[in-house]
Structure 1
Amino acid sequence: MMKKIFIWLLIIFYVSVSSPACIVSSKNDICLAGASNYRYWYGSAPTAAGMLLSWYDRKGYSNLMPDCEAETCTFDVTGAIVNNSIASSGHINDFYRAGYGHFKDDVFFPTHQPDCLADFMGTSQDWYGNVNGETKFFFFTDNSPTTPEKMLGLHWFRPFGDGMYGIGEYIKYRGYKTSALYNQLIYGYGGKSAGFTYEQYQAQIDSNCGVLIHLINEFTGFTQTVYGYGYNNLGDVLVYDTQGPYGQNPGFLKWGEYYFQGGQWLTQYGVTIVNLHPAPEPAPIVLMLTGFSFFVKIIKKKMKILKSDEEAAARQYFHRN
């Protein structure tokens, strides 16, 4: 029987404040040395993905964040170059024209080719039903991994509006490949004896791979994505939350429990895993898309054609604040 899936929309309010300099981890922490700590930039999900990929950028995957070696911190930095890889000026001008939380403000014909994480992840794009700042992530409700291949098995169009799938497409666009790419609810979520475990998270960090961690206020539907970059001997997950002093940043999360941010308690519910293949020799990237083909591609992604009653059982469930 076809597995049911649902989507969380990840959206976070950005508060423009000053933040202390990026904090060095304690000697008792087991973490990714030099992990990036970025201020919110047009969506928590692409910002967190930018933190994850920038670590790779400095470890031999130099085309992931082009134009410079990715900064390790963007708090109190004017004109951080890495921000263009998170959400470019073209993305902002085409899909974020009316400001945070607005909808149906996109240009009819995109004026730029996709060139940043927010483009590929569908963030803020009306085509996917996202208000400005939102990104969708799909999860199987049996708590098994949600891979692009499994999503395509449900519907050919379904992966295209998913943030995880978009990260994978951005990585391909930059000339690299993934060795693991999936969303998954955590163990025990929804009362299921299945899901991604704390031990798996530790194994990710021990293998020098960060993790995107998804949080939600289950009363309001408010959601947030943070970057998991380590853990300690007290059982804490170490995260950067994009929010500076209005978050915890660096924050500490007990696996599967609550995280306090922005005056509210958020519950961990899922993860996104993005691991890269060993970096190849640098090669020039030739972009074959045109503005027209980008438009046609988006139209195809937006189509909602259900081919059977079984597929209809896999309709989307939304959570918005």
Structure 2
Amino acid sequence: MWGKKITLFLIAYVLFGGNSFGQKYIKPIDKKYIHSRYIDETGEELLRVIVPGNPPPSGFKARKAVAVSSSAVIINDVPALSWCFGCTPTTGAMLAGFYDRQGYVNMYAGPTSNGVFPINNSVWGNAYINGETRALCPLSATRNGLDGRTSRGHVDDYWIKYLNANPDPYITNGWAQHAYEDCTADFMKTSQSAYGNQDGWTIFNYYPSGSKYYGTDDEDGPYGLQLFFESRGYTLGERYSQTIVGYNGNANGFSFSNYVAEIDAGRPVMLHVEGHTMLGVGYDFDTQTVYLHDTWDYDLHSMIWGGIYDDMQHLAVSVFAIGTEGFVDENLYITNTTFSSPDECLDAMQHIYVASDGNSVNIENGASVDIIAGQSIQFMPGFHAQNGSTLSARITQSQEFCVPQGYSSSSEKMSSENTRQITGEDELQFASDTHLVKVYPNPNNGLFTVTFDNFDNETKVFVYNTFGQKVYQASTWEKFTVVELQHVRRGIYFVKAVNNQQHYEQKIIVQ
């Protein structure tokens, strides 16, 4: 994102068994929730904890919505979701949905509500599966036929019935599992038997000593949530898990004051109680009350920090530092700037103003700039584009904005009918739809062909993974090239072709 270097901190709290709060003694988690324990490479004991992801209990009647005190601090506009194939991915979807509503528009990419994640998941209704009625939410768990999806998703491949321990449907039916893509449950390994998870389960790692856990264990839910955020184009500066102060009598750990600081900064907090996960959205400092969404209804509820919620105790935390690469400003003013490099991109949800009297903007020879706005782009006196520069200015009708560094767009090259040519003293070059690139087969096994129509001179071909890491590079003077990706994992990749300052990007799936 241009002109802004801010780091946003998002906290996910992990809570489990005991009955006191703050710096008082909180007994260790019940052994039935411990998947395994071992001494890691740092020499500390590490717990791998099961969060079985409790759905609303049998005969569940929603708690009465809590009355908010006059001294409470509440973050507004946070989605409240009903349990969708695991409390942990449901809470992860609330986090992602909140940031989608704040301008992190890649978090949710579906067609509902014009691409803006709704305030609850009632719009998607319920499904009756193997004797159970389950709420649906594509950001938590994808499913064939849900939200415009036309292929198998998380529910189809991994779900049988809550706490079912049998091999997943994709295994027993002999079909290829879908690529991780659009939902938190995929990346968090929820319900996936290949990772030892029963349906609804997610695994969390933390040190009982109160130290921060930064590990990248492929089975760890918070690490999986990090991968989800990164797959959407948002870089993480930090991610760790940590028990709260008082766990097993420790003075070390995460405190109520830390929680207050996060809420004051406008950052929701993922709350886990023993066997369950929720989202903290506010507090009352005087009473140490935590206001939360419990994944069982759409209302606001509360608990005491370090206390008990519905017989489940508060224990630990996971912290995510989400960078603002990819964040979209409401409006953008571009002044006193010279662009000299290729692949510059500027965007705003509403309006962009380029230059003004006495505040020039220059695009130099060889530079390329893409400007994308939701409503309007205004070029003012003081704007200059030199011969040999490339400028594209367009109004997006699909909420597709700049591709953050380390992320590639899944959409095809912009349509020329939505691209306005800027006339004036300088001759500008624009991408033309007569330059076409095709990639086939897609999906593929890592071997595919890229063809070029009406491309002259040398064409460079790059392939990137969802973390922005280049996994392939080649150049050709021919009208096609065969790409063979060796030793790459299954998943989503992005093919980028560059010819005469024209750029084309295509998403592929390696199975």
Q: TM tier, shorter chain?
A: 0.7 to 0.9
- Distance, in Å, in 2 between the alignment partners of 1:145 and 1:272 is 9
In structure 2, the CA distance between the partners of 1:21 and 1:71, relative to structure 1 (3 Å rule), is: farther
1:275 counterpart SS class: strand
The question of 1:240 aligning with 2:293 is answered yes
Equivalence for 1:318: none
- Distance, in Å, in 1 between the alignment partners of 2:137 and 2:50 is 22
- Distance, in Å, in 2 between the alignment partners of 1:231 and 1:258 is 15
Q: Which segments of 5 or more consecutive residues in structure 2 lack a partner in the other structure?
A: 1-41, 128-134, 144-152, 327-346, 348-400, 411-438, 447-464, 466-487, 491-511
Equivalence for 1:70: 117
2:281 to 229, 239, 255: 229
In structure 2, the CA distance between the partners of 1:69 and 1:25, relative to structure 1 (3 Å rule), is: farther
How far 1:95 sits from its partner (Å)?
A: 0.5
Which structure's CA Rg is the greater one?
A: 2
How far 1:199 sits from its partner (Å)?
A: 0.4
Give deviations 1:129-148, integer Å, cap 9, x for gaps.
1000000010012211111x
Give deviations 1:176-214, integer Å, cap 9, x for gaps.
112332111111101211111100011111111111122
Letter in 1 for 2:45: K
> TM-score, normalised to structure 2's length?
0.49
Q: Which segments of 5 or more consecutive residues in structure 1 lack a partner in the other structure?
A: 153-158, 217-222, 299-321
2:139 counterpart SS class: helix
1:43 to 79, 86, 93: 86
Contact 2:65-2:301 at 8 Å conserved across structures: no
Letter in 1 for 2:180: P
Deviation >4 Å, runs of 4+ = 16-27, 79-82, 286-294
- Distance, in Å, in 1 between the alignment partners of 2:265 and 2:136 is 24
2:315 counterpart SS class: strand
How far 1:74 sits from its partner (Å)?
A: 2.4
In structure 2, the CA distance between the partners of 1:276 and 1:63, relative to structure 1 (3 Å rule), is: same
Please identify, of 174-183 and 58-67, the stretch whose mean Cα deviation from structure 2 is larger: 174-183
In structure 2, the CA distance between the partners of 1:27 and 1:274, relative to structure 1 (3 Å rule), is: farther
- Distance, in Å, in 2 between the alignment partners of 1:111 and 1:171 is 21
Contact 2:124-2:136 at 8 Å conserved across structures: no
Equivalence for 2:236: 178
Contact 1:18-1:76 at 8 Å conserved across structures: no
- Aligned runs of 1:1-321 on 2, under 5 Å? 2-15=43-56, 27-67=70-110, 68-75=115-122, 78=125, 83-89=137-143, 90-96=153-159, 98-106=160-168, 107-108=170-171, 110-115=176-181, 116-147=183-214, 151-152=215-216, 159-216=217-274, 223-233=275-285, 234-244=287-297, 249-260=299-310, 265-280=311-326, 282-284=401-403, 285-286=408-409, 297=489
Give deviations 1:32-81, integer Å, cap 9, x for gaps.
11111110000000001111121111111011011221111225762799
In structure 2, the CA distance between the partners of 1:258 and 1:76, relative to structure 1 (3 Å rule), is: farther
1:83 counterpart SS class: coil
- Distance, in Å, in 2 between the alignment partners of 1:176 and 1:24 is 35
Which of 1 and 2 has higher RCO (CA within 8 Å, sep 6+)? Answer: 1
- Distance, in Å, in 2 between the alignment partners of 1:291 and 1:205 is 45
Letter in 2 for 1:86: S
- Distance, in Å, in 2 between the alignment partners of 1:73 and 1:28 is 26
Letter in 1 for 2:48: I
1:84 counterpart SS class: coil
Equivalence for 2:397: none
Letter in 1 for 2:162: Y
Percent identical residues: 25
- Distance, in Å, in 1 between the alignment partners of 2:237 and 2:228 is 14
> TM-score, normalised to structure 1's length?
0.76
Letter in 2 for 1:102: N
- Distance, in Å, in 2 between the alignment partners of 1:45 and 1:167 is 10
How far 1:83 sits from its partner (Å)?
A: 1.4
- Distance, in Å, in 2 between the alignment partners of 1:206 and 1:140 is 27
- Distance, in Å, in 2 between the alignment partners of 1:168 and 1:60 is 18
How far 1:20 sits from its partner (Å)?
A: 9.6
In structure 2, the CA distance between the partners of 1:110 and 1:6, relative to structure 1 (3 Å rule), is: farther
Contact 2:124-2:137 at 8 Å conserved across structures: no
